Amino acid sequence: MSVAYVDTSVLTAIAFGEPDAAEHARRLDEFARLISSNLLEAELRAAFARENLLFQEAATTGIEWILPDRALAPEFAAVLETGYLRGADLWHVATALYVSPEAGGLSFATLDTRQSAVAEKLGFSIPWEADLP
């Protein structure tokens, strides 16, 4: 079964109809399961508010929420040893590592170049090229 951890950058691009939005949506549809930290919902709602748009509940349909039952200190350390990420990006990659400590069985879907590079170095499969700085 193919599973992808989805970063907010991908869903934001789809929700706002950015270039390649249809292609991003198609690629997500190829996965049997989509998972993410519930931080994604907060970030997505903030993006809608920033654009003065009403949040569309459908934007997170099909996402299974990962709610860690412990501190992510070991995952944070592993990610930061691999490369620097800002707080929210760090949280997303650490949460993916929490779900899949060996990383190899999980794809990490992001449009953020730095986040993509760190996730790939950790062993996550990257389903498409990132294009955000």
What local confidence, expressed as pLDDT, does residue 130 receive?
Answer: 59
Asked if CATH classification 1.10.150.530 holds for the domain at 3-122, the reply, yes or no, is no
Query: Would the pLDDT of 125 be above 70?
Result: yes
What local confidence, expressed as pLDDT, does residue 128 receive?
Answer: 75
* pLDDT (mean) for 102-117: 92
- Burial (CB count within 10 angstroms: exposed 0-12, middle 13-18, buried 19+), residue 64: exposed
Element (H, E) at 116: helix 113-122
What local confidence, expressed as pLDDT, does residue 127 receive?
Answer: 86
Would you kindly state where each structural domain of the chain is located, as residue ranges? 3-122
- Residue 106: which pLDDT band, with cuts at 50, 70 and 90? very high
For the stretch 71-98, pLDDT in tens is: 999 999 999 999 999 999 999 999 999 9
Distance CA 55, CA 44 (A): 8
